[in-house]
């Protein structure tokens, strides 16, 4: 599960209470019940294990099937990406915590590679789909949205360029409301929303390019 928190893309992990890899940080997961589909299982397990229910988007990431990925009997895992809007601050259990994706603690099994694969999937889809809706609150300023995109992509995306691209794709709608002025005063910023809350491919060959001389 990914969320932009404190201007950083973060993942929710919990400490394993059992061997193998007792005490290491791991992704929440579990077995699929006979009476549920995979997405229902994902949402149930996140609710049961880390008490998170406010998921804006869920999609399958990949199947991880290396014979030695888990000690003992072979275990094949189907991993999913779940996104939480930045204005949601779920209360999580004491054994659970948010961690910067680019500075992970020691994880169990192959969970670090799963997290990094999810990060790369998100970064790719932010460029050619409207998936930013799943990271953003219902209403936002363009500068706040550019901060979310910058944190998720790992490089600066200017507000002007982001607004131009998303407006050209028909993804932004002005709400007519204004954000409260900051402590320094100044002109209030306009509030926007995404025009839809389901993922769509909007420009299959698009990419937000980092500034010259970076990455």
Task: Note the pLDDT of residue 157.
Answer: 95
Does the pLDDT of residue 213 top 70, yes or no?
A: no
Q: Note whether residue 121 is domain-resident.
A: no
What phi and psi, each to the nearest 5 degrees, are found at residue 173?
Answer: -130, 125
- Confidence check: pLDDT of 188 > 70: yes
Q: How many domains are there within the chain?
A: 2
Q: What are 131-184's pLDDT values in tens digits?
A: 999 999 999 999 999 999 999 999 999 999 999 999 999 999 999 999 987 666
Bridge partners for 190 per DSSP: 178
Arithmetic mean of pLDDT, 56-61 = 94
Eight-state DSSP code of residue 132: G
Q: Say if residue 7's pLDDT is above 90.
A: yes
CATH of the domain at 48: 3.90.79.10
In this structure, are residues 12 and 22 in contact, taking their beta carbons and an 8 Å threshold?
no
- Let me know if residue 212 belongs to a domain: no
Residue 138 lies in a domain: yes
pLDDT at 183: 67
pLDDT band at 206 (very low <50, low <70, confident <90, very high): confident
Question: Closest by alpha carbon to 84, among 114, 112, 50, 127?
Answer: 50
The range of the structural domain enclosing residue 182 comes to 128-194
Q: Which residues contact 159 (CB under 8 A, 6 or more apart)?
A: 142, 143, 145, 146
What is the predicted pLDDT for the residue at 210? 67
Report field, pTM of the whole predicted structure over 0.85: yes
């Amino acid at each position: 599960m990914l969320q932009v928190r404190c201007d950083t893309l973060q993942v929710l992990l919990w400490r394993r209470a059992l061997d193998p890899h007792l005490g290491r940080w791991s992704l929440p997961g579990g077995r699929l019940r006979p009476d549920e589909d995979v997405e229902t299982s994902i949402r149930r397990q996140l609710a049961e294990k880390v008490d998170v229910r406010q998921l804006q988007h869920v999609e399958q990431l990949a199947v991880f099937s290396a014979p030695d990925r888990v000690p003992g009997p072979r275990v094949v895992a189907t991993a999913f990406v779940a996104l939480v809007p930045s204005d949601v601050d779920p209360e999580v259990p004491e054994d659970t915590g948010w961690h910067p994706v680019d500075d992970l603690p020691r994880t169990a099994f192959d969970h670090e590679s799963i997290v990094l694969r999810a990060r790369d999937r998100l970064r790719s889809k932010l460029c050619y789909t409207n998936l930013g809706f799943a990271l953003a609150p219902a209403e936002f300023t363009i500068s706040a949205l550019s901060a979310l995109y910058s944190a998720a992509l790992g490089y600066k995306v200017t507000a002007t360029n982001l607004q131009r691209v998303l407006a050209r794709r028909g993804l932004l709608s002005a709400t007519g409301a204004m954000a409260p002025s900051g402590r320094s005063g100044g002109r209030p910023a306009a509030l926007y929303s995404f025009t839809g809350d389901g993922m769509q491919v909007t420009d299959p060959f698009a990419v937000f390019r980092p500034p010259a001389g970076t990455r």
